[in-house]
Structure 1
């Protein structure tokens, strides 16, 4: 292959499956350089749907799809996937995990924290960063080689606040109620000392905080969920109940051009006729291909089957995929849907 012109080599690499690329990068330095090139990454990456499964067994504790990264009991928090990586935090460990390449980067923790973490990608500098909440202070960890070799840097914030932990904390796995878009983290927070809920943003390049003003008529509460809506950052409130009653739901969407948040309403034709009154399904975001994605509320004890529903505007109806079926899956389990996951073997540094 090395005798071929470089543009033909490039085209061949784009057609290879991910695991073959991983093998190529291990045996040939030139191919590794091509594969790790930013232009190649951009062209190769295509979003898919990443599902994080959890089943709860009262005798032996929770069982995870990613056993190698979640091996201890207790509460775990998982970030939305970013460029193939997820951030997993427990009481004593903080790790970045690539489920496709099966790679783990261990980050330093101590008795001082961090209490909570948010994971993002600094597009300007091409590095992953973790925003840590340490009691009443904030620190940033820049991921270079991982495995605890770096350190947390303190940063200033003129608006004291705490990160709002997702209200669904009963299962031992929760997904951070935050999104990273364009090198900026967006997340729900509570002000100190007045305990008012608001949306904060953190620029991963300048490492500066900002307060986002929401429109009148949208109340931020414990049921508010941050989602990716057609490539934009958005908030929804208890969409499961609203869908059940009206066949639609309100959504608060951030306008990328103006930076303002605007209220919209999403209606799914014939929704009420397709679902029994007692079946609740929540909106969890949109795929890069435009489909709206719905799953059952994650904290409900239930059995029988798990499903994901897709709807594309203008289509004839909903399409569904059954993820788990049968009575053997247990009386209490949940599925975490993380959308637009990129199957990526690349590290943050090359």
Structure 2
């Protein structure tokens, strides 16, 4: 008769066996997790199978995301060239003076990544053909495959498809005109405008690659303007179509492009910026003086827009004689955000309420220095998501 040996125990099972928290009820474990910062939750998911099953389970993920959505935060991307380091800093959007969190991440020392607005707790950054996706709440970043292109001008947008629960990056490239060709295009309206020639999409996940797409609308993206926005599984960005500024949209689920005409307004055509205002796609236009116009898209299929004029004090009234400022967004409260360039030390921005006609200065301590380049994003939601290696 063969002597039965003792069944071997896997390392994971051994850890679970000696986990003192294994006797706690699920409700108490969930309550404990909800009180921890996202970085600690992500690390705890590697302690044992029990913690991992809770943290990565759909019930806890939905609960945590619901709370995060109800408590949006300000997110700052700070690049310090003297330290060759880029880090993220977040604080409460309702009360920026409280609940500060900072995550440092040393990227390629010779590169400064440009980040798109965060979506669902994740953020996308790109420098030339290099691209990364990260969770600024946990400090984890993963590299994506290089963008396959020989073109000079690259434009990318980050978005989320809620139906299929997929994150995607849309990337477009165009030849940059230089020298006499660029001058001829600026001076001669009959000169053919360079168009976006390559359209690619990347779906976040293991063993994924850039896939080429076809776009039936010959247009040129505005790489120097805002980075576009994502709403309900569709990304929107401004572009030139038929020699007029238009709004392009890309459905992340069907991967189809659409074009929407903009109102015939000179200031809108020259100075428009896309924002998500009160749940609607809005273009904010503001020249060097006069009111700030909000063009709200009421019906995309009919290309119907409504105009709301917000009387904003002159820049001199808000910032003094320094006119080098930029519109940054609109808070859910309706306050208009204007920030100074270059980033001041200490860093601050102005919130103007067009209804009450009042302005307040919001100072963020601990992130500003004379050489720092700071980008601010609104309505950021924290996430404990752990990213898998892409390749």
If the TM-score is normalised by the length of the shorter chain, which range does it land in? 0.7 to 0.9
**In structure 1, how many angstroms separate the alpha carbons of the residues matched to 2:208 and 2:121?**
21
Aligned match of 1:233:
281
2:161, 2:369 → 1: CA distance? 43
Which runs of structure 2 are paired with 1:141-156 in the superposition (5 Å)?
Answer: 141-145=202-206, 149-156=207-214
| Mean Cα deviation higher: 122-131 or 28-37 | 28-37
Q: Please say if residues 126 and 348 of structure 1, whose CA atoms lie closer than 8 Å, have aligned partners that are also in contact.
A: no
Partner of 1:43: 66
SS of equivalent to 1:27: coil
Cα 1:63–1:10, aligned 2, differ >3 Å: closer, same or farther? closer
Specify which of 125, 137, 160 is matched with residue 121 of structure 1: 160
1:289-318: CA deviations, max 9, x gaps?
A: 55432211x4x5x86653112345666833
Q: 1:339 to 1:113 in 2, by over 3 A?
A: farther
**2:260 paired with 1:212:** yes
Q: Matched residues in 1 for 2:368 and 2:28: separation?
A: 52
- Determine which of 220, 229, 253 is the counterpart of 1:162: 220
2:54 corresponding residue in structure 1? 34
Q: TM-score, normalised by structure 2?
A: 0.70
- Whether 1:200 and 2:248 are equivalent positions in the alignment is yes
Residue-pair matches, total = 323
- State the match for 1:52 in structure 2: 77
- The RMSD of aligned alpha carbons is 3.5
Partner of 1:72: 110
Gapped runs of 5+ residues in structure 2?
1-20, 88-103, 175-196
Compare CA radii of gyration and give the structure with the larger one: 2
User: Is 1:82 aligned with 2:82?
Assistant: no
Partner of 1:32, secondary structure, is helix
Superposition misfits of 4+ residues, deviation over 6 angstroms = 256-259, 269-272, 324-328
Structure 1 length normalisation: TM-score?
A: 0.77
Alpha-carbon distance, 1:15 to partner: 3.1
Cα deviations by residue, 1:235-288 (Å, 9 ceiling, x for unpaired): 22346x33xxx4x41122223797743221123579875542545543311334
User: Structure 2: how far apart are the matches of 1:159 and 1:234?
Assistant: 22
Change (3 A) 1:30 1:195: farther
- Checking the alignment, whether the CA contact within 8 Å between 1:238 and 1:282 is kept in structure 2 is no
Change (3 A) 1:264 1:322: same
1:254 aligns with 2:304: no
Residues 43 and 126 of structure 1: CA distance in aligned 2, closer, same or farther (over 3 Å) = same
Is this contact kept in 2: 1:47–1:288, CA < 8 A?
no
Aligned counterparts of 1:5 and 1:285: Cα–Cα separation in 2: 44
1:106 to 143, 147, 163: 143
